[in-house]
Structure 1
């Protein structure tokens, strides 16, 4: 780790007033704290992180230091190697910071096939942790089980269901399924009779139905698994039931049957409870649902086919909850395999927890349609994101916490009238459509990072990084979290001013032009860019942008031609005022 990276991390800790998901600081003057084992396990089981020894959180992250950094490094390396299973190999080093020695360890995330990391002294169930917000939480036995299952290909969906026979199948679904198989996969299925074809497709295991076969084609799977269903609840308030009048819910549906029927009933319930809004389309207006049906269908299908079907989860259903400000779809079992929150939406990214179920559903259509339930091509979430973009809505927020996965759809138009007026009040020329969308996400209280920005605008990472950097340079955004874990917030003087009424937010009191401020900071002296950043408090990107403007207008000059050099100094020219430039 470079010194500048460490300084940025510590500055963020001090600004936040506490640890965060990717950084843990501990006071450790002479020996390793006991809780280090938990933190190492948590980082390795989550997304990796940085452990800093020698910072005192109770004193505002003061650098109290480590007395014997060489011994501390050796002790930490030994603990990672001997006390944790599997052994961890973090990058450990000592940094001199504010007159104190800090021992810093960068802990990588373990690959899925090696999780969970746990403390050997207490065993896997008691010694496995995960990082949640700024703390370490012990994994539940169910979460440990899921991590163990993710080491290979789960086979829960292939298990035979005792007491079932071919008679428990929905014959109309089976006829359509076999017809598609014989048409699309004639080499494997054209010459097989019904029983042989169902066995080859793993709908039948011996004389019993597989769990996948029962769920995809069964007449009534809930006869054997009462909770393997989907529930839909429409709540009257943002927090759920309305305590003022005792209304618990507006609508409540239990969708049962095979997966095609559950998807169909869920979409019927959603249509019945969604409002319709008018949107401008060309020269006219179109009536659309508040959430695009394509996005909801993909989300419901994903929840049903990618959920955990191990025995421990048979008592948990897929839940769809509608609130005035959002729609939440949640399923048991987090993401599986190589799929991570950060690559959700990347075309072709796919890992099938329930491989047999997905294969069956490729040839199982929705009721009254020729469209199959899923394509098994990793296209579900990209289609979901595209539908939200087309409807000018914020992208869904995905959350994976090992034991559950959820998709939350905000209920607002991304570029509504209030957001458009606020962006116009910033008086920034040359913003791209995608930059306006990113600003609108923050206006609505959404989280903005590189991934969310890409999902909202269908951009590659390079373009997203450049456009976000430009918003920082303009002084509109402030990066936080360091380079590796960067997210963005609105600059204080760009944020909409609060209002006590129901009127639109007041425009920000923003100083968009920084030229006079920088000229005043220079005075009659010379200064480097870093000096000016320290004096003005502006972000380095913002300073670079305005120095370029001042150079172009002839108000300042540089002491070197290589403007990228950190040693280049700037001074004012004989053209002393902005009035002389016409600007």
Structure 2
């Protein structure tokens, strides 16, 4: 019987430690002291992670065994309870891999209100870790304080800027803001003085002496030049000539290098204009014919830029870090300080109705502050920005963005390529299109580029919103033998099968895909009646693939269920008269 540990090790060997969130330690001499750091790191990191003892951490992850596995399991549980604050209660299993004892401990991410988890002897400031790639990194003191501050609703954006006054706000922008509020809600604001409106919406707040000052949110939303007080609360843009960011052989380091300042509405507009100035256009072939589009859709860029400015961390320790936009020949990267906040995690980005604001006052203000030169506002605050970004990339024939939540920072990476280019379309056509949905084609194209998908990534890439529909579509691809599945349930991952990978190549012509329909007919012709599992064994296919073909062949009238219910293990199948007709063509692989 395949166990959770077997699945984990199979994924580790196939995808690597970073991809599956695993830390591997040989532990031949007992429980290593560094395990505490990994336990802390996983509990503080998005999605948690798994500590595995008894495997070599070199490629291949060979099982080396444990001297006293039972004692090591007890020591690990004791370490979690007594050497970490707060105590952890991971799921610890003891099993065998390649005949050797191995221990695996799954450490879930702690709820926001319980972070950070730290090594008690090192103290909170020195003993708090997070997971970065496949290593444990100690958080700085400021990062630790950020985690503590985010146990509740951060209020840094509502703090008064004590050196600023009303004169530091843009008079024209303030007038537009007040007029918009009065028009949108005359019952509340129609007869109020502008000063009252600014105070009640926390554009102006009291300082320690009782004087009204612009709040940080008010200055960022409506200020003339917020960088007078916070020089690094701005945007930097760098266009690199190479994919690594290194200089060209001729010594060119940057194609463009810009520092963008002003209020958030102006920075967002200028950042978009700067990116477009550095973009070229490409041709997109669709049902409407060939049309020219930007390398990156402006709507996707706009949403990514605004999100980075509005949801960035505004705590004192992060005010020295800019929002960074980096353009490379193959991708665009937008990075901001501060990871995801609240109930939103990396697997639920873009889900309808799921939104959480780190800077609640700032976001609320920008709902009523317009984009320079336009009638629309900077933010909607409806949790739809990520969905709009993904949808616009999909309409442009591009792959989905990649999101990285690093607890103390967040980044969006947009690959610069057409997802369904001519070569990919030709490859998809070679697979056989009957019954395959457009969303499944997108997933296949992504997997062809090396992407490893799970249910959440599938939904984000394809626009499918229901996890059950996504599961059905992925399982359908597995059944068609176009996709291989590793793991099960919530931990299932999907990659392209060898059949699909070789489709359309000379290798595929030398080793054609098996004609499962013909194999099933021949098996039943030889044996008379067989169950699903017996058919799968005879033709050398998975249960899912066999079930897929049995369903199709029953629908086509080629087989019939001879006894039991269709879903019963005892159901046996036999051929119909139609399947026995000698003129049925079986010369080519059936790709339907």
TM-score (norm 2): 0.85
Q: Which residue of 2 aligns with 1:335?
A: 340
Q: Which residue of 1 aligns with 2:512?
A: 511
Q: Which residue of 1 aligns with 2:195?
A: 195
In the alignment, structure 1 residue 366 sits paired with structure 2 residue 365? no
Question: How far apart, in 1, do the equivalents of 2:430 and 2:286 lie?
Answer: 25
Per-residue CA distance 1:449-500 (angstroms, 9 max, x = gap)? 32232123221211111111111222212223654333322222322589xx
Question: How far apart, in 2, do the equivalents of 1:364 and 1:262 lie?
Answer: 13
Q: Which residue of 1 aligns with 2:215?
A: 210
Question: How far apart, in 2, do the equivalents of 1:97 and 1:282 lie?
Answer: 52
Q: Secondary structure at the match of 1:89?
A: coil
Question: How far apart, in 2, do the equivalents of 1:71 and 1:569 lie?
Answer: 50
Counterpart mapping for 1:489-528 below 5 A? 489-495=495-501, 508-509=508-509, 511-515=512-516
On the 8 A contact 2:30/2:72 being kept in 1, the answer is: yes
On the 8 A contact 2:85/2:119 being kept in 1, the answer is: yes
Q: Which residue of 2 aligns with 1:465?
A: 471
Cα–Cα, structure 1 residues 270 and 125, in superposed 2: closer, same or farther, change >3 Å? same
Q: Which residue of 1 aligns with 2:589?
A: none
Kindly state the Cα deviation for residue 258 of structure 1 after the two structures are TM-superposed.
Answer: 0.7
Answer with 278-287 or 144-153: which moved more: 278-287
Q: Secondary structure at the match of 1:294?
A: helix
Per-residue CA distance 1:229-274 (angstroms, 9 max, x = gap)? 1122223332335512322233333221111111111122223222
In the alignment, structure 1 residue 251 sits paired with structure 2 residue 252? no
Kindly state the Cα deviation for residue 125 of structure 1 after the two structures are TM-superposed.
Answer: 2.8
On the 8 A contact 1:422/1:507 being kept in 2, the answer is: no
Which of 441, 451, 456 matches 1:451?
A: 456
Question: How far apart, in 2, do the equivalents of 1:274 and 1:17 lie?
Answer: 35
Kindly state the Cα deviation for residue 427 of structure 1 after the two structures are TM-superposed.
Answer: 3.1
Answer with 36-45 or 97-106: which moved more: 97-106
Kindly state the Cα deviation for residue 160 of structure 1 after the two structures are TM-superposed.
Answer: 1.6
In the alignment, structure 1 residue 306 sits paired with structure 2 residue 311? yes
Structure 2: gaps of 5 or more residues: 207-211, 587-592
Q: Which residue of 2 aligns with 1:542?
A: 545
On the 8 A contact 2:430/2:503 being kept in 1, the answer is: no
Q: Secondary structure at the match of 1:493?
A: helix
Kindly state the Cα deviation for residue 302 of structure 1 after the two structures are TM-superposed.
Answer: 0.5
Question: How far apart, in 2, do the equivalents of 1:532 and 1:135 lie?
Answer: 46
On the 8 A contact 2:564/2:572 being kept in 1, the answer is: no
Name the Cα RMSD after superposition: 3.7
Question: How far apart, in 2, do the equivalents of 1:565 and 1:393 lie?
Answer: 43
Question: How far apart, in 1, do the equivalents of 2:99 and 2:547 lie?
Answer: 30
Q: Secondary structure at the match of 1:161?
A: coil
Cα–Cα, structure 1 residues 521 and 284, in superposed 2: closer, same or farther, change >3 Å? closer
Which of 475, 480, 484 matches 2:486?
A: 480
Question: How far apart, in 1, do the equivalents of 2:73 and 2:164 lie?
Answer: 60
Question: How far apart, in 1, do the equivalents of 2:2 and 2:297 lie?
Answer: 48
Q: Which residue of 2 aligns with 1:119?
A: 119
Per-residue CA distance 1:372-411 (angstroms, 9 max, x = gap)? 1101121111111222222222121111112221111222
Q: Which residue of 2 aligns with 1:272?
A: 277
Q: Which residue of 2 aligns with 1:167?
A: 167
Answer with 543-552 or 211-220: which moved more: 543-552
In the alignment, structure 1 residue 36 sits paired with structure 2 residue 39? no
Q: Which residue of 1 aligns with 2:4?
A: 5
Kindly state the Cα deviation for residue 213 of structure 1 after the two structures are TM-superposed.
Answer: 1.0
Counterpart mapping for 1:275-286 below 5 A? 275-279=280-284, 286=291
Question: How far apart, in 1, do the equivalents of 2:56 and 2:564 lie?
Answer: 44
Answer with 147-156 or 445-454: which moved more: 445-454
Q: Secondary structure at the match of 2:89?
A: coil
On the 8 A contact 1:5/1:482 being kept in 2, the answer is: no
Question: How far apart, in 2, do the equivalents of 1:395 and 1:237 lie?
Answer: 22
Answer with 511-520 or 212-221: which moved more: 511-520
Answer with 560-569 or 388-397: which moved more: 560-569
Question: How far apart, in 2, do the equivalents of 1:25 and 1:371 lie?
Answer: 51
Kindly state the Cα deviation for residue 31 of structure 1 after the two structures are TM-superposed.
Answer: 3.8
Kindly state the Cα deviation for residue 169 of structure 1 after the two structures are TM-superposed.
Answer: 0.8
On the 8 A contact 2:25/2:56 being kept in 1, the answer is: yes
Q: Secondary structure at the match of 1:349?
A: coil
Q: Secondary structure at the match of 1:465?
A: helix
Answer with 506-515 or 170-179: which moved more: 506-515
Question: How far apart, in 2, do the equivalents of 1:527 and 1:7 lie?
Answer: 31
Aligned pairs, number: 576
On the 8 A contact 2:69/2:102 being kept in 1, the answer is: yes
Cα–Cα, structure 1 residues 311 and 523, in superposed 2: closer, same or farther, change >3 Å? farther
Question: How far apart, in 2, do the equivalents of 1:283 and 1:217 lie?
Answer: 42
On the 8 A contact 1:394/1:456 being kept in 2, the answer is: yes
Question: How far apart, in 2, do the equivalents of 1:577 and 1:98 lie?
Answer: 47
Question: How far apart, in 2, do the equivalents of 1:535 and 1:549 lie?
Answer: 18
Cα–Cα, structure 1 residues 414 and 105, in superposed 2: closer, same or farther, change >3 Å? same
Kindly state the Cα deviation for residue 353 of structure 1 after the two structures are TM-superposed.
Answer: 0.8
Kindly state the Cα deviation for residue 25 of structure 1 after the two structures are TM-superposed.
Answer: 4.2
Answer with 289-298 or 269-278: which moved more: 269-278
Question: How far apart, in 1, do the equivalents of 2:540 and 2:5 lie?
Answer: 19
TM-score (norm 1): 0.86
On the 8 A contact 2:482/2:496 being kept in 1, the answer is: yes
Cα–Cα, structure 1 residues 546 and 494, in superposed 2: closer, same or farther, change >3 Å? same
Q: Secondary structure at the match of 1:494?
A: helix
